[in-house]
Amino acid sequence: MTTTLGLDDLLTLERRGWDSLCRSEGGTFYGRLMTADAVMVLTNGTMLDRPTVTATLDGSPPWASYELTDARLVPVDDRTTALVYRASASREGEGEPFVALMTSLYTLVDDSPRLALYQQTTITH
């Protein structure tokens, strides 16, 4: 199956998202990136819809650093692709880094990639 959503492009979007979280600007970034009915499912069992993400992520504690590895694509159809990767991130003053497997499901809306679903699966907890 051929998809128009490539690995490099989606990793660039993911890095922009992580960079926004490092600046405590995640709500603004993801508010533009997410589809209207998108959700984020976090390791603590919380499910955030787009309005909640836009209202809360700008005030979240910033990540000091992050690393994305082992990225791969899982094509769904010619307009939708899942990006799966391992993330390791640290905050100032916290001991162990947060390590999790991430899945970001992107779909093309008006020929632009938009985030429809984000899921975290923890490795460290």
What CATH number did the domain enclosing 37 receive? 3.10.450.50
The answer on pLDDT for 2 being more than 80 is: no
Task: Report the domain count for the chain.
Answer: 1
Q: What does residue 109 show for φ and ψ, rounded to 5 degrees? A: -125, 120
24-75 confidence digits (pLDDT tens): 999 999 999 999 999 999 999 999 999 999 999 998 999 999 999 999 999 9
| 61 SS3 class | coil
Distance, in Å, from the CA atom of 41 to the CA atom of 119, rounded to the nearest integer, reads: 5
97: tokens are 């880094």
Quick check: is 1 in a domain? no
Distance, in Å, from the CA atom of 38 to the CA atom of 27, rounded to the nearest integer, reads: 13
64-122 confidence digits (pLDDT tens): 999 999 999 999 999 999 999 999 999 998 888 999 999 999 999 999 999 999 999 99
Quick check: is 87 in a domain? yes
Quick check: is 46 in a domain? yes
Instruction: Give the mean model confidence (pLDDT) for residues 11-21.
Output: 97
Distance, in Å, from the CA atom of 116 to the CA atom of 86, rounded to the nearest integer, reads: 19
Give the global pTM. 0.92
Quick check: is 30 in a domain? yes
What residue numbers bound the domain in which 42 lies?
7-122
Quick check: is 89 in a domain? yes
